[in-house]
Chains A and B, each alone.
Chain A
Amino acid sequence: MKHTPYTSKTKAADLITSDFNLLYIFERFGIKLGFGEATIEELCSRYNLSSALFITLSNIYSFDDYRPKADALGKEEIPQIISYLRASHRHYMNSSLPTLHGNIHTMMEEYEETNRYILNKFFDDYDNEIKRHFEYEEQCVFPYIESRLTGNRKDDTGYNIANFEESHTNVSEKLNDLKNIIIKYLPDSYTSEIRATVLREIFRIESDLRKHATVENRLLIPLVAKLEGEKHPKA
């Protein structure tokens, strides 16, 4: 067994100083900074959060080869995972993607019309695709899981979480393409700072989305699949 450095006794502040990406997790759970010497456990109980979930998420974000064990969590954590994922979606939709969109359009202003049109269109299509992906999760998948949890599900849909996995289309392939196009093929320009800024944002969003997908595939889906295997709560 490989030991992971984060435990419930770790100081919450140490988590952020050891990896500033973990700040996202605090933000997305609505945890306010200024918590002094509180440990993860203390902080989580203050916010009514599962500290096991908090640590699992921290490990996913900090260690690329970390594989969460869904056994360590139960169905009590499912609503918290969903609320975390919803908050992540809001962050992408309201902040990351609009910023990237604005910067890409600024970057392309000094290019001739054909290149400007084709690259802006590529990003705009991607932008719409990923928004549709989030909407599908928010409007179909999460409500399905929530109805499963409360037992208020109408059983006529034939839907299950395996359908979600099948339709879970890739959201990072085009981002990766865009990265290579900007690094290698977009012609030289006068101002290179904006181009580097755009690239850094793409790298950051790509890595964040990869973690997001891990949370869905390795935590949420196995937990819901387990729930589906159980007897109906009201039976």
Chain B
Amino acid sequence: MAKKKYNILLIEPSEIVATGVAAIVNKSNEFKLTTILPDTDYLRQVRTAHDIIIINPTAATPVERQDIRTILGAESGTTAIVALSYDNLHENELLRYDGSIGIHDTPERIYQKLHNAIKECSENKNEAGELSARERDILVSVAKGKTNKEIADRYNISIYTVISHRRNISRKLGINSIPGLTVYAIMNKLIDISDIQ
């Protein structure tokens, strides 16, 4: 394992929570929390690049939340974006992040999730961009209007795996909304128009 520490930027409005996250992250010798901001207003003053940005999505405005990678300047896939959740996030919102941590997670679980997010992010950067066979199956289910729960049951995988697949599908195609994915599926003859009528 390389000696490099991963730099982390935290965006969290609650000082109590921010202090707690900082203490946990800095206890690890793999991560270093270098900057804490209360909301997205001060982002443009941040000049250094971070390996990970942990953000409480409520610190951004509703419109910014729709396009969180751009707002955080992380479109290129070199910075992993991790949502910090107080159990208040809809699972579909998590699609926009490389991972998520919750305020009830143990430190070990947090370190593991941060590593997964970095891995998720770097894999996406290296991928050619074609959908895998499994992603194609899941896209077909999404386009037909199936819920994450229904898809998880059908393929015998967890909801989080479904979300991870959906995140990769949306990132590869550049299409986020379900109607948009349906248009894609029909244009590419993955489903028939009668499937959705």
Contact = CB atoms under 8 A, between A and B. Distances in A.
Interface of A: 65, 67, 114-115, 117-119, 122, 125, 165-166, 168-170, 172-174, 176-181, 184-187, 210, 213-214, 217-218
Interface of B: 41, 43-44, 61-64, 66-67, 173-177, 179-180, 182-184, 186-188, 193
A173 B177 contact: yes
B44 A115 contact: no
B61 A217 contact: yes
Contact of B182 (A114, A118, A210): A118
Contacts of A114: 186, 193
A210 B63 contact: yes
A210 B63 CA distance: 8
22 contacts: A65-B44, A114-B186, A114-B193, A117-B193, A122-B180, A122-B182, A166-B62, A168-B62, A170-B62, A172-B63, A172-B66, A173-B177, A174-B177, A174-B180, A177-B177, A180-B173, A180-B174, A180-B175, A180-B180, A185-B184, A187-B187, A210-B63
A122 B179 contact: yes
Given A122-B183, A186-B187, 9 more contacts: A65-B43, A114-B186, A172-B63, A174-B179, A181-B180, A181-B184, A185-B184, A185-B187, A213-B61
Contacts of A214: 63
B61 A218 contact: yes
Given A114-B193, A173-B66, A217-B61, A119 B180 contact: no
A186 B175 CA distance: 13
Given A213-B63, A217-B63, A173 B176 contact: yes
A162 to B, nearest CB: 11
B63 A118 contact: no
Contacts of A166: 62
A200 B186 CA distance: 25
B169 to A, nearest CB: 12
Given A117-B193, A173-B177, A165 B62 contact: yes
B77 to A, nearest CB: 17
A210 B61 CA distance: 12
A125 B188 CA distance: 21
Contacts of A117: 193
A222 to B, nearest CB: 10
B66 A170 contact: yes
Given A65-B44, A173-B176, A181 B63 contact: no
A178 B174 CA distance: 9
Given A168-B62, A168-B63, A115 B186 contact: yes
A210 B175 CA distance: 18
B62 A177 contact: no
B57 to A, nearest CB: 13
Contact of A184 (B43, B64, B174, B176): B174
In order of increasing CB-CB distance, the 10 nearest A-B pairs are A177-B180, A180-B174, A213-B63, A217-B61, A170-B66, A65-B44, A177-B175, A168-B62, A118-B186, A122-B183
B136 to A, nearest CB: 14
Nearest to B196: A118
A176 B176 contact: yes
Nearest to B192: A114
Contacts of B182: 118, 122
A172 to B, nearest CB: 7
Contacts of B183: 118-119, 122, 177, 181, 185
B78 to A, nearest CB: 19
Contacts of B61: 165, 213, 217-218
B166 to A, nearest CB: 14
A133 to B, nearest CB: 12
B63 A170 contact: yes
Given A172-B63, A213-B63, A217-B63, A115 B179 contact: no
